[in-house]
Amino acid sequence: MKTNEVTGLFKSGWIGMGFEFGRPGIGARFRDVDLVAQALARLGVIFADNNPVTKLMVDKKTGKISDEVLDQKVMSAIIECMFPIEKMKDVLRTFTALAPKLHTVVSVECINKVEPDDSLPMDAVLKEMGITRRINGKTNVGLGRPRAA
């Protein structure tokens, strides 16, 4: 997610979202990660291929994490996914409904491409949902050498 100027993964009209479990200093069990991953999969998100959590999925279409690791505890695990911006409200509502069932802390990260008018399309969705975007997020200024157009 953090290297979009090089990868070109996130296009206009798409949102990338990360759900970071267990950080700072709490840790998380993959059972919680599995619960959220399966719920996100039912919404049709696309999980990031080069992500360690995705590699633990036995089926990316269902988001199911391998039973072998469900009780393992890690310091941090990040689900990274992307989807059309039209699904953003459903994704956030689904996560919000699951959050009370989780046994750890989770940070939610969003990425979208800045439009030619310097706007962030996700801002309108966040505002409508009553969610304040932190201004101290990372802004990718495009200094990397693109591998994708």
Contact between 22 and 74 under an 8 Å Cβ cutoff? The reply is yes
Give pLDDT, residue 3: 66
**Residue range 33-67, pLDDT digits in tens:** 999 999 999 999 999 998 999 999 999 999 999 99
Contact between 53 and 79 under an 8 Å Cβ cutoff? The reply is yes
Q: Which residue has the tokens 């290297």?
A: 3
Give pLDDT, residue 142: 67
Give pLDDT, residue 147: 64
Q: How much is the pTM?
A: 0.89
d(CA 91, CA 82): 10
